[in-house]
Amino acid sequence: CNSVSLSIILNLKIMIQLHDKQFVPFISAKEIDFALTKLVAQVEDDFGDDTPIFIGVLNGAFMVAADFLKKYKSPCEVSFIKMASYEGTETTNSVKELIGINQDLSGRSVVIIEDIIDTGNTLEELKHLFKAQNVKHFKVATLFFKPEAYKKDIKIDYIGIRIPNKFIVGYGLDYDGLGRNLTEVYKLAE
């Protein structure tokens, strides 16, 4: 009986509550670090002497972009764009550009840094936006990718971790504003 109650207590400690939902551990900080190291190596190999501009998609990608750039040792530039497509745990299927890029990107190599790609709606909007800017290269790097949810034909050049179509929080991802500061990723408890 003591081992059963100890097990229950341990499970309660690792489950977190954000607003009205409970989340359980899903991806460790060590797994995230390994995936980012792999992404950086692939991007550095592809760009060689080119100086890409990395564009983080806010709010979610702020942690991914920061840790990615700490590992990227070649010359680069960084900027951010703010897009919104979620309300609560559901995608709205429409994407709003809240803060845009205010520099000339024509002839530049652009690498989008995303925290997660699920339906691809935000990615599609970004591709249209940057195509209009006549960029030399348009590449996409995402830490998390949900292949089951992806509905677009746009190539994702660099993928850190493929995950099932589950709602996740942590490492920049939120549930109604909470959870972005978590260093590990949690999935919605079933």
Give the residue among 132, 127, 95, 122 at the shortest CA–CA distance from 111: 127
The 10 Å Cβ neighbour count of residue 28 is: 12
CA 46 to chain centre: 20
13, two tokens: 């400690």
Which entry of 118, 153, 157, 174 is annotated as an active-site residue? 118
Helices (H), the chain: 2-14, 29-47, 62-71, 121-131
Beta strands per DSSP E along 33-181: 53-58, 77-87, 90-99, 109-117, 137-145, 158-162, 168-169
User: Helix 29-47 crosses helix 62-71 at what angle (to 10 degrees)?
Assistant: 60
104 catalytic, yes or no?
no
Positions marked active-site: 118
